[in-house]
Amino acid sequence: MVTKIIQSLIFAFLVINVTLANNISVTNVLLTGQDVGSDYIMVEFDISWENSWRVSTGPSNWDAAWVFIKYRKNAQGPWEHCTLNYSDGTGSGDGHTEPANTNIASSEDNGSGGAYGVFIYRDSDMAQADVSYTDVKLRWNYGDDGLDDSDVAEVCVYAIEMVYVPQGSFEIGCGLTANGCFFTYGDGTSSYEITSENEVPVSTTNGDLYHYVGTRANIPANFPKGYDAYYCMKYEITQEQYVSFLNKLDDTQASLRDNEVISGTGLYRNEIIGNPGGYSTTNEYVAANYLCWRDLAAYLDWAALRPMTELEYEKAARGDLAAVRYEYAWGTTFIAEEDYTLSNEGDSDEGIATNFVHGGGNALVSATAGVISGPVRVGIFAAYDSYINREVAGSGWYGAMELSGNVTEYVINVSTANGIAFTGEHGDGELTSAGASDVTNWPNSTTDGFGLRGGHHGVIATYARVSDRQFVLASYETTGYYFTGGRGVRTAP
């Protein structure tokens, strides 16, 4: 859904597109406060989303909206990424205007003067509730993007729901050596604790980290281990989000990023159709499948996010709690075993009609998929307010949904040289002419360095366990399948 507004400004006319994403809405966009001397303008809008929170106990975290903006000149030509203002991270809003009860934190990307996006979140504790914030104003430094005061530009505002994962120690593995799980060498029944971002020794020395998959080498200090704070997408990438991405690429880029997605149309609930400039889907809220590694990397680069490492995956699920042997993302070993059926299929309120487990452990795996042929609406298990808790909702400790089941998710692995070379650089919003990510130290054009975690709708439940690494070397670089999807993260500013 897109709304267009035309507004006259000092020396400029601009067209603004308002883009809606899953469970989050950006409306009433306008441009105001142009400063022709400093070459900036304020992008004003309202934003709302569901099931927001901030707590200072338990997970001690909050959820947030990651907001970024795209533009193109003269309503034609390529879409490019807006440079937003960044001061020093200590001032109120970094030059942006914060609505009441919110904080705005800019990403530090382009030296001291530029940000590729901002996080908007609650400034104090609140119980889980829907939120709506009006008159958000982000300072767009259009001069940094090479625009003149009199240029005509078309702008799109995007928002993605995220959860904050705070800094702190956590455990990887759950005391098993099967399926490549991490463990402490010399004590095969113990998990391994990550206590800093320092180098992690991987060896046959008692007390070191060990595993039985791929290459075993020390994990460098600059590899993101999950100890430092980061933001994680609350949901897996949806078909609507991927369609919005495709529709902002040029014809060549889009045709290279729609390959497996379009060939899978009508299969396993993938309903993405169209061609460059005109993609759509009737399953907007359903997790995107058929994504290959290059598709995911391109989407994350375009959205100024980055891939998640497999250590960050385990922290997002387990949090700082002690590891439980055989646990799923919700922290227990129980998982539903009866076939689900759906209500309101394809709608924003798609739900589980039968065999929802009110005692906990809901996830879409082969044992529960039944007649459901593919992934379901993201966040579907959190829709039962009268029963909701972490286990019932199938949620990770910090509120990320479907870390077990639905679609399997690409992560950067620690079992290959290309994997541990990853240093956590973020995307810059721009792709190559071939529609590929070009971020330094991402495994962009390699057949390894990445793999899959979390299981999916077509496999047995054991593969959905937090510690399971059975497919962490899966090499789906250029070919996506009915079960492959993912989400992104960003190091906290």
Per-residue pLDDT reduced to its tens digit, 208-232: 999 999 999 999 999 999 999 999 9
Question: What pLDDT does residue 15 have?
Answer: 59
Q: What percent of the chain has pLDDT over 70?
A: 93
- All structural domains of the chain with their residue ranges: 2-163, 166-493
Q: pLDDT grade, residue 108 (50/70/90)? A: confident
- Helix-helix angle 239-246:293-302, to 10 degrees: 70
Q: pLDDT grade, residue 203 (50/70/90)? A: very high
DSSP 461: G
Question: What pLDDT does residue 10 have?
Answer: 37
Q: What percent of the chain has pLDDT over 90?
A: 86
- Give the residues across from 131 on adjacent strands: 49
286-323 in b/e form (b: 16+ CB < 10 A) is bbbbbbbbbbbbbbbbbbbbbbbbbbbbbbbbbbeeeb
Rounded to an integer, what distance in angstroms lies between the CA atom of residue 410 and that of residue 484?
Answer: 8
Token digits of residue 443: 């495994």
Instruction: Look up the CATH architecture of domain 166-493.
Output: Alpha-Beta Complex (3.90)
Rounded to an integer, what distance in angstroms lies between the CA atom of residue 231 and that of residue 316?
Answer: 9
Rounded to an integer, what distance in angstroms lies between the CA atom of residue 458 and that of residue 430?
Answer: 34
pLDDT surpassing 80 at residue 87: no
Token digits of residue 80: 């490019």
pLDDT surpassing 80 at residue 1: no
Per-residue pLDDT reduced to its tens digit, 446-469: 999 999 999 999 999 999 999 999
Mean pLDDT of 123-130: 94
Residue corresponding to tokens 């061609």: 275
Per-residue pLDDT reduced to its tens digit, 60-78: 999 999 999 999 998 888 8
Rounded to an integer, what distance in angstroms lies between the CA atom of residue 418 and that of residue 201?
Answer: 17
Query: How is 95-152 classified by DSSP, letter by letter?
Result: GSBPPTTEEEEE---SGGG-BS-EEEEESS-EEEEEEEEEEEEEEE-GGGGT--TT--
Question: What pLDDT does residue 18 have?
Answer: 64
Q: Which of 20-34, 69-83, 118-132, 477-491 is the least confident region?
A: 20-34
Query: How is 358-372 classified by DSSP, letter by letter?
Result: TTS----SHHHHTT-
Rounded to an integer, what distance in angstroms lies between the CA atom of residue 320 and that of residue 453?
Answer: 19
pLDDT surpassing 60 at residue 8: no
pLDDT surpassing 60 at residue 485: yes
Per-residue pLDDT reduced to its tens digit, 340-390: 999 999 999 999 999 999 988 999 999 999 999 999 999 999 987 667 899
The C-alpha angle 441, 447, 450, rounded to 5 degrees, equals 60
The C-alpha angle 437, 441, 442, rounded to 5 degrees, equals 40
Question: What pLDDT does residue 360 have?
Answer: 84
CA 456: distance to chain centroid?
A: 17
pLDDT surpassing 70 at residue 282: yes
Q: Are 109 and 426 in contact (CB under 8 A)?
A: yes
**Other CB atoms within 10 Å distance of the CB of residue 56:** 10
